[in-house]
Amino acid sequence: MQELSVRHLLGIKDITPQDIQLIFETADNFKDVLNRPIKKVPSLRDITIANVFFENSTRTRLSFELAEKRLSADVINFSSSSSSVKKGETLLDTVNNILAMKVDMIVMRHSSPGAPHFLSRHINANIVNAGDGTHEHPTQALLDTFSIREKYGEVAGKKVVIIGDILHSRVALSNIFALQKLGAEVMVCGPITLLPKYIKELGVKVELDVRRALEWCDVANVLRIQLERQQMKYFPSLREYTLYYGIDKKMLDSLDKEITLMHPGPINRGVELSSDAADSHHSIILNQVENGVAIRMAVLYLLASKTA
């Protein structure tokens, strides 16, 4: 039997291609479970999981919570906005207090890059990184690559372009790592101001023209413009961004080739994607959401078998 090479899922950078394949194979089985009349298995019935979110989240938190409940785990939710963090408690104290209640796993989102890595050095519970600042978002990359595998049969050899705000995107970084580990070719595309200075050192192609990027790729993963992370102006206006980097159905149809459109959500409709593109046959955005639950079930299940 294969098992994960890690006790925590902190980032895609830390796991092997074999780990990713094992997660995919396990997720295949959980996807089958999710399509049964009774969508629940008792695997984690003796495990308690805390969802510790120091940053806003709708989709990821719902997806994790659903995955945990489908696995029969006991779930507690914590959000910093309504907690003692507001009273000055440290991250480690907060988590240790949660762990004192006999919690086995922590699913954590934090605005500081490296926060889950820091925690993993101080606590015994398994940690799943649900996004740490602009660093990594491993389960999003896993569900994105799983969705590509589902659509094409394999990820290896596929040309994938990540379009938009690469600079502030943890999804982009995790996706780059995951795609490369699985043998895909990766390109990033966006305004020069939203591309990290040393992005080429990650072994990705860089393209500034969105049409040329779309002509090159099999899959376009379009990112949200993260206005909440931007401390300064990176482009003149949203209208101008849409003009140069927005994707609509007319553009997709004019390519004269089949292309797959992805988006980690939430979509700024009419900014990076028009509604007719987001809802077109090119889009597998809702498949990504469905696959998110199966992938998170697989991650939690496999990590739960790695006791301290």
Residues that bind another protein (CB under 8 A): 1-3, 25-26, 28-30, 32-33, 36-44, 46, 71, 301-302, 304-305, 307
Q: Which tokens belong to 130?
A: 């649900």
3 state DSSP class of 30:
helix
Structural element, H or E, at residue 231: none
Distance CA 249, CA 205 (A): 25
Q: Nearest approach, Cβ of 218 to another protein (angstroms)?
A: 27
In the complex with another protein, the residue whose CB is nearer, 37 or 153, is: 37
CA angle 289, 49, 99 (to 5 degrees): 145
Q: Nearest approach, Cβ of 118 to another protein (angstroms)?
A: 26
Distance CA 261, CA 273 (A): 10
Q: Find, among 117, 123, 125, 139, the residue nearest to 66 by Cα.
A: 139
In the complex with another protein, the residue whose CB is nearer, 39 or 269, is: 39
Distance CA 177, CA 214 (A): 21
Q: Nearest approach, Cβ of 78 to another protein (angstroms)?
A: 24
In the complex with another protein, the residue whose CB is nearer, 33 or 99, is: 33
Q: Nearest approach, Cβ of 182 to another protein (angstroms)?
A: 20
Q: Nearest approach, Cβ of 1 to another protein (angstroms)?
A: 5
Structural element, H or E, at residue 157: none
Please report the DSSP string for 63-92 in residue order. Answer: HHHHHHHHTT-EEEEEEGGGSGGGGT--HH
Q: Nearest approach, Cβ of 39 to another protein (angstroms)?
A: 8
In the complex with another protein, the residue whose CB is nearer, 126 or 260, is: 126
> Phi/psi of residue 135, each to 5°?
-90, -80
In the complex with another protein, the residue whose CB is nearer, 44 or 127, is: 44
> Phi/psi of residue 183, each to 5°?
90, 20
In the complex with another protein, the residue whose CB is nearer, 123 or 298, is: 298
